[in-house]
Amino acid sequence: MESKVKLFGHAVHPILIVFPLGLLGAAVVFDIIYLIWGSGLMAAVSYWMMTAGLIGGLLAAPFGLIDWLAIPNKTRAKTIGAAHGIAMVIAILLFVMSWFMRSSLPERPLAAASALSILGLGVALIGGWLGGELVERLGVGVDEGAHLNAPNSLTASDARLNDASYTKQTVRS
């Protein structure tokens, strides 16, 4: 099942999710450094990484929802997609709560704010694994004609065009 929203032949949702996952993960790393060394600078860096990650998550989410709505009902992919979406919403909410708890004094967050961000990352990792299951196991968002010798996504609208091995496989089927 191909993605419904593409940019230059590639699904938009997977392009966008790398930023919030990376930024929110980095925020947790800086939180841990803060907890170990007590550096207010590290806590402030965590806060701003979290800010950017939350914005990125909010930008990526609608594209995931659009793709999920296109998955046929009563399929494993629809169920896994729903679990992925729910996990990511929970992760974002945990980070939002952490962000609010530290917004008045980013350099000195409460331990509970750091705990929420660590928990948020754990949930995001589970949600990310579910997203990987959708793409790598169930083929959601993958071009229908994808194969090892498919043409560049900028040169052909259909990955099956001008491919003799694909044409031979199709004819034999």
Q: 6-32 pLDDT, tens per residue? A: 777 777 888 889 999 999 999 999 999
Q: What is the pLDDT of residue 92?
A: 97
Q: How far is CA 98 from CA 19, 80, 106, in A?
A: 19, 27, 10
For residue 6, the surrounding DSSP H or E stretch is strand 6-7
Count other C-beta atoms under 10 Å from residue 93's C-beta. 13
pLDDT in tens, 31-71: 999 999 999 999 999 999 999 999 999 999 999 999 899 99
Q: What is the mean pLDDT of residues 132-140?
A: 88
Report the SS3 class of residue 43.
helix
Q: How confident is the model at residue 90 (pLDDT cuts 50, 70, 90)?
A: very high
User: What is the C-alpha separation between 171 and 173, in angstroms, rounded?
Assistant: 6
Mean predicted lDDT score pLDDT of the chain:
88
Q: Phi, psi (5° rounding) for residue 7?
A: -130, 120
Whole-model pTM: value is: 0.84
